[in-house]
Amino acid sequence: MPTPIRDFIAGRISGGRRAVETIATHRTFADVILPPRTRAALDQALSQVQSHELIFSQWGLGERHSSGLGLAFNFAGPPGTGKTICAEAIATVLGKKLLSVRYAEMESMWAGETSKNVAAAFRMATEENAVLFFDEADAIASRRTTGAAQAYQRESNTVVNVLLKELEVFNGVVIFATNLAVNFDPAFERRIRTHVLFEMPGVEEREKIWQVQVHPAKTPLGDDVNFRVLAERYAVSGGDIKNAVLKAATMAAAEPGVDAAKRIHQWELERAMDEVVAGKSVMQQSLFGEAEQGSEDRLMRAVEAAELRWRKSAQATIVIAALGVVLGAIAVVLAVVR
Ligand SMILES: Nc1ncnc2c1ncn2[C@@H]1O[C@H](COP(=O)(O)OP(=O)(O)OP(=O)(O)O)[C@@H](O)[C@H]1O
Ligand SMILES: [Mg+2]
């Protein structure tokens, strides 16, 4: 019989995305180009991970002690800055799989069952000896509400309590990915060993990201391709660069002619990036536009209502004036008749 927990373990798909997924990682830190401060924070996290592994697994202290063993990190930063690849790279360094839980999806798919599923995720990670990665964990990390009048608030408080308990006994590495605006629950914050801030890449990093997004030998680039120019022109994330490279490659592949003669040119990379940037601003504008449109609509409705009121009161004034004239005329007629 299907149960939420079983669905969860089977990695039920929601809207084409798995809420829970075990990733056999292959990406390494060589695939990631980070600004110096992000790199330094990540190196620190990595050395903690390595000594944790040594102490608790190889030296057996994990079997001797039953609490305070877990190592939790928070990767915070804007979309496309490399949080997920770095979680994969950490798992690769440890020679482990990555158990990725999309927290927001898990919460919406199994309302009322989230805390059970959080506990199940920790169980699975233990069984599979995997690094546990809570992606989109903003809701889980945020402050518990006091009072908790609403059912969903009570549920999210329970989830955080369960999470804290599991973190206490889990003998492994847990990584949370959040955006920058999370208001951390203080109890949760105490369990986080290191926050790694994923900054947007600068020009130097962007140039290197462009380079790693193409295959050094197999991707056919035109002679005119200049990654430095692209890096200087577009202040975007690594995720945007990846999307632009894939778009440009699709354009180049669709060109007429034999495949062997096809090349990705600078103009294709520029056009692709323009489209990626435009796509993002359309999304932002339509959100903003809707809000503006909404307030414009409200304003128009208020103006129309005011006009209507004015017209009605003008009509009423005319009617009263006309009645006055008629009554006056009747009074005059009556006076004459008498
Ligand atoms: N610093 C980087 N170096 C190299 N490639 C990058 C970097 N950042 C992003 N990319 C590319 O963009 C893709 C998306 O990045 P990733 O999924 O790691 O971003 P994220 O920070 O997890 O984003 P989100 O918040 O949207 O989940 C990666 O698979 C990689 O190809
Ligand atoms: Mg991600």
Instruction: Pick the residue whose CA is nearest to atom 18 on ligand 1.
Output: 82
Residue 79 burial (C-beta neighbours within 10 Å; 0-12, 13-18, 19+): exposed
CB of 242 sitting under 6 A from ligand 1? yes
Distance 192 CA to ligand 2 centre (A): 19
* Residue of the CA atom closest to atom 4 of ligand 1: 32
Instruction: Look at residue 112 in the predicted model and tell me its pLDDT.
Output: 73
* Burial track 6-30 (b if 16+ CB lie within 10 A, e otherwise): ebbbeebeeeeebbbeebebebebe
pLDDT greater than 80 at residue 111: no
Q: Pick the more confident residue, 251 or 189.
A: 251
pLDDT at 117 over 70: yes
Q: In this predicted model, which residue has the larger pLDDT, 303 or 186?
A: 186
What's the mean pLDDT in 159-167? 85
Q: For the segment 195-230, what is each residue's pLDDT rounded down to a tens digit?
A: 899 999 999 999 999 999 999 999 999 999 999 999
Confidence band (pLDDT; 50, 70, 90) for 5?
Answer: low
Mean pLDDT, residues 138-153 taken together: 66
- Most confident among 51-60, 243-252, 304-313, 318-327 (mean pLDDT): 243-252
Asked if residue 88 has its Cβ within 6 Å of ligand 1, the reply is: no
Where on the phi/psi map is residue 77: left (φ > 0), alpha (ψ -120 to 50), or beta? Answer: left
Average pLDDT, the chain: 81
Structure confidence at residue 102 (pLDDT): 85
Q: What is the per-residue pLDDT for 77?
A: 92
Q: Evaluate: CB of 238 within 6 angstroms of ligand 1.
A: yes
Q: CB of 93 closer than 6 A to ligand 1?
A: no
- What is the whole-number distance in angstroms between the Cα of residue 1 and the centre of ligand 1? 38
Indicate whether residue 52 lines ligand 1 (CB < 6 A). no
For ligand 1, atom 31: residue with the closest CA: 242
- Is the predicted pLDDT of residue 27 greater than 70, yes or no? yes
Supply the pLDDT for residue 287: 43
**H or E element that contains 17:** strand 17-18
More confident residue, 178 or 4: 178
Provide the 10 A C-beta neighbour count for residue 67.
11
What pLDDT does 333 receive? 84
Which token pair is 332?
């005059």
**298 has a pLDDT exceeding 60:** no
Note the helical H segments in the chain.
4-10, 36-52, 61-64, 83-94, 103-109, 114-128, 138-141, 151-169, 186-191, 203-212, 227-233, 238-253, 266-337
Q: How many CA atoms lie within 13 A of 70 on its CB side?
A: 24
Contacts of 293 (CB under 8 A, 6+ apart): none
**Interaxial angle between packed helices 266-337 and 238-253, expressed in degrees from 0 to 180 and rounded to the nearest 10:** 100
Q: For residues 234 and 206, is the Cβ–Cβ distance under 8 A?
A: yes
The β-bridge relationship of strands 98-102 and 131-135 is parallel
What gap in Å lies between CA 170 and CA 173, rounded to an integer?
Answer: 8
pLDDT range class, residue 180, cuts 50, 70, 90: confident
110/4 Cα distance (integer angstroms): 7
How confident is residue 317, by pLDDT bands cut at 50, 70 and 90? low
Cβ(229) – ligand 1 distance below 6 Å: no
Helix 151-169 vs helix 114-128: angle between axes, to the nearest 10 degrees?
20
Higher-confidence residue: 205 or 163? 205
pLDDT at residue 189 in the model: 83
Structure-token pair, residue 314: 């003008």
| CA distance to 2, 105, 207, 226, per residue, from 86 (Å) | 34, 21, 19, 27
CA angle, residues 252, 256, 260, in degrees to nearest 5: 70
Mean pLDDT over 172-177 rounds to: 92
Q: What is the pLDDT of residue 2?
A: 43
Q: 43-47, 236-240, 276-280: which has the highest mean pLDDT?
A: 236-240
Task: Please tell me the predicted confidence (pLDDT) of residue 62.
Answer: 75
CA–CA–CA angle 122, 127, 128 (5° rounding): 100
Percent of the chain with pLDDT over 90: 39
221 DSSP 8-state letter: B
pLDDT of residue 156 exceeding 80: no
Which structural domains are found in the chain, ordered by start?
A: 4-197 (3.40.50.300), 203-282 (1.10.8.60)
Please tell me which residue, 75 or 25, carries the higher pLDDT value.
Answer: 75
Instruction: Give the per-residue pLDDT at 290.
Output: 44
